[in-house]
Amino acid sequence: MNDCLLILTVGTGTAGPYSNLAQGLTNTLSQVQPRLFWLVPSGYPDSTAIADLVRESAPTGSCFQSWNTSTLYCSIAEPDDLFVCRSTLRQVIACARRCLERGERLLVNPTRRYQADECSRNPGGPR
């Protein structure tokens, strides 16, 4: 595909004992085939370890973008705080938008938890 950029949030894989978050995110990269992608883990060590696995398993043709020269990820410091989540994602989205080329789309794939938090706080949908 390569006509898009992708931002993936990375949780801790709490969906159940048979959940494999790293493989699921790697599958997403394989299916979407973004030109560039960013991983946004939570501040939890397990989340960062999962992001490392995904980064190392990225398919050929998709290029991981580090947050800056000294930090791989823009992590969500307080993943239980919706406003911190939003603020962090806005920073990454702004960075990714600067990399968009003509005709490309920016896709953001939040984890189920962030989607559930948003719905519970905003039952009418995103604004």
Question: Quick count: other Cβ atoms within 10 Å of Cβ 73?
Answer: 22
**What's phi and psi for 90, nearest 5 deg?**
-60, -40
* Domain annotation covers residue 127: no
Nearest-angstrom CA–CA distance, 20 and 49: 13
* Domain annotation covers residue 96: yes
- Strands 36-41, 105-109: pairing kind: unpaired
* Domain annotation covers residue 21: yes
Global confidence as pTM:
0.83
The pLDDT of residue 2? 73
The pLDDT of residue 22? 87
* Residue ranges making up the domain that contains 33: 4-121
Local confidence pLDDT in tens for the 127 residues of the chain = 579 999 999 987 666 666 688 888 999 999 999 999 999 999 889 999 999 999 999 988 899 999 999 999 999 999 888 899 999 999 999 999 999 999 999 999 865 554 444 444 444 544 4
* Domain annotation covers residue 20: yes
The pLDDT of residue 127? 42
Residue 21 sits in a domain whose CATH number is 3.40.50
* Domain annotation covers residue 22: yes
The pLDDT of residue 61? 87
The pLDDT of residue 13? 66
The pLDDT of residue 116? 44
- The count of domains in the chain is 1
* Domain annotation covers residue 126: no
The pLDDT of residue 11? 84
* Domain annotation covers residue 62: yes
